[in-house]
Amino acid sequence: MVKVAIVGATGVVGTKMIEMFEQYGIKADELTLLSSARSAGKSLQVMGEELTVRELTEETPKQGFDYVVMSAGGSTSRQFAPLFEENGSIVIDNSSQWRMHEDIDLIVPEINAPKLGRKIIANPNCSTIQSVVALQPLKEQFGLKRVNYTTYQAVSGSGSGGLRDLEEGARGKAPTTYPHPIHDNVLPHIDVFLENGYTKEEQKMIDETRKILELPDLAVSATCVRVPVSNSHSVHMNVTLENDATEEEVRDAFRNIPHITLVDNPENNEYPTPLESTGRSEVFVGRVRRDDSLENTFHVWCTADNILKGAAQNSVQILKQIMERE
């Protein structure tokens, strides 16, 4: 009898997780949908069945779930993930709460697998996931020396509040999620500002890239920007390789990898766009070209569905990876 719970089931990521369960063939004898008191009582369709969302309380972890997938924000994860863990559940957590803890695995199943033994496993930040998926073949074939990211992140990354600000902003309504209008605008500000002048989103990309790729000394920098796009993040990567390559060798590194699609025919106006990434499971790369201002350096453009590969899909892939191993 396999008991699975989804915490944050009514959110933008949680509802996609439910869809991903079906797509990835997750076998749960009993699936429990959980949320805060505010959303509890709602009904959601799960594989043709109607399930009522229940409130997450301190008593819930005692119900003995085998697996818990959480997408409910850092403070909920801080409070509840250890309670589920103490009660024997394996927790896959989508928040930033546990990602950089030394004893917590940070997993992108195409790149790594849990090995540290803790029952809390962290799902990385959305813009980090798509970036490291694209960087992994470059790391393997040429070695990585330095990465500088500039992101163009969709409002769905802020959940329903971000989508609302974009939609209602187009009708002239003041924002409630962002400090400025996002309609007709671009905000170089994602998550809170830190003392070093970077935002937490930028710091996440720097720290998580090093951890996932197991390159603690990799030179990494990031500028993260919110753009008026509903869904799918775009990331420009300026990548310095350890060993030089031709543009075609860099493109070739991305070919024949099932979870990467190379779209790089600028002569036909073909390159990855967020609109075309939306609803797709793979990471798209293109605009590969040499940066003549630095040795062994290339520009790579990368898009992916931030709610799928950046969140729900990656979490469910981790769940499948663990279920198949046990």
Which one, 77 or 158, has the nearer CB to ligand 2RA? 158
Interaction residues for ligand 2RA, span 121-140 (CB under 6 A): 125-127
d(CA 109, CA 251): 22
Residue 158 interacting with ligand 2RA (CB under 6 A): yes
Which one, 110 or 201, has the nearer CB to ligand 2RA? 201
Interaction residues for ligand 2RA, span 265-284 (CB under 6 A): none
Q: Which stretch binds ligand 2RA (CB under 6 A): 152-160, 165-173, 236-244, 258-266?
A: 152-160
Residue 157 interacting with ligand 2RA (CB under 6 A): yes
What is the nearest approach in angstroms of ligand 2RA to the Cβ of residue 190?
5
- The beta strand positions in 214-282, using DSSP E, are 219-223, 233-241, 260-262
Residue 108 interacting with ligand 2RA (CB under 6 A): no
Q: Which stretch binds ligand 2RA (CB under 6 A): 57-65, 119-127, 246-254, 292-300?
A: 119-127
| Residues counted in the chain | 326
> Is residue 277 within 8 Å of 206, Cβ to Cβ?
no
Which one, 73 or 82, has the nearer CB to ligand 2RA? 73
The DSSP bridge pattern shows strands 144-152 and 233-241 to be antiparallel
Judge whether 280 is annotated as a binding position.
no
Residue 234 interacting with ligand 2RA (CB under 6 A): no
- Sorted by sequence, the CB contacts under 8 Å of residue 88 that are 6+ apart come out as 64, 66, 119
Q: How many residues bind ligand 2RA (CB under 6 A)?
A: 9
Judge whether 156 is annotated as a binding position.
yes
The DSSP bridge pattern shows strands 67-70 and 144-152 to be unpaired
Catalytic residues: 126, 233
The DSSP bridge pattern shows strands 90-93 and 233-241 to be unpaired
DSSP 311: I
Judge whether 153 is annotated as a binding position.
yes
Query: What do you get for the CA distance between the two ends of the chain, in Å?
Result: 14
> Is residue 242 within 8 Å of 296, Cβ to Cβ?
yes
> Is residue 217 within 8 Å of 254, Cβ to Cβ?
no
Q: Looking at beta carbons, which pairs linking 75-78 to residues 24 or more positions away fall under 8 Å? A: 76/7, 76/8, 76/36
Phi, psi of 46 (to 5 degrees): -130, 110
Task: Determine which residue in the list 10, 76, 97, 153 makes contact with ligand 2RA, applying CB under 6 A.
Answer: 153
Which one, 145 or 226, has the nearer CB to ligand 2RA? 226
What is the nearest approach in angstroms of ligand 2RA to the Cβ of residue 56?
20
> Is residue 216 within 8 Å of 196, Cβ to Cβ?
no
Task: Determine which residue in the list 93, 165, 201, 264 makes contact with ligand 2RA, applying CB under 6 A.
Answer: 201
Residue 203 interacting with ligand 2RA (CB under 6 A): no
What is the nearest approach in angstroms of ligand 2RA to the Cβ of residue 8?
12
Tokens of 229: 């796009």
- Report the residue closest to ligand 2RA, judged by CB: 157
Which one, 183 or 289, has the nearer CB to ligand 2RA? 183
> Is residue 224 within 8 Å of 128, Cβ to Cβ?
no
CA 11 to chain centre: 15
Instruction: Give Dmax (Cα) for the chain.
Output: 60
Judge whether 97 is annotated as a binding position.
no
Residue 239 interacting with ligand 2RA (CB under 6 A): no
List binding-site positions: 10-13, 38-39, 99, 153, 156-157, 226, 306
What residues make contact with ligand 2RA under the rule CB under 6 A?
A: 125-127, 153, 157-158, 190, 201, 306
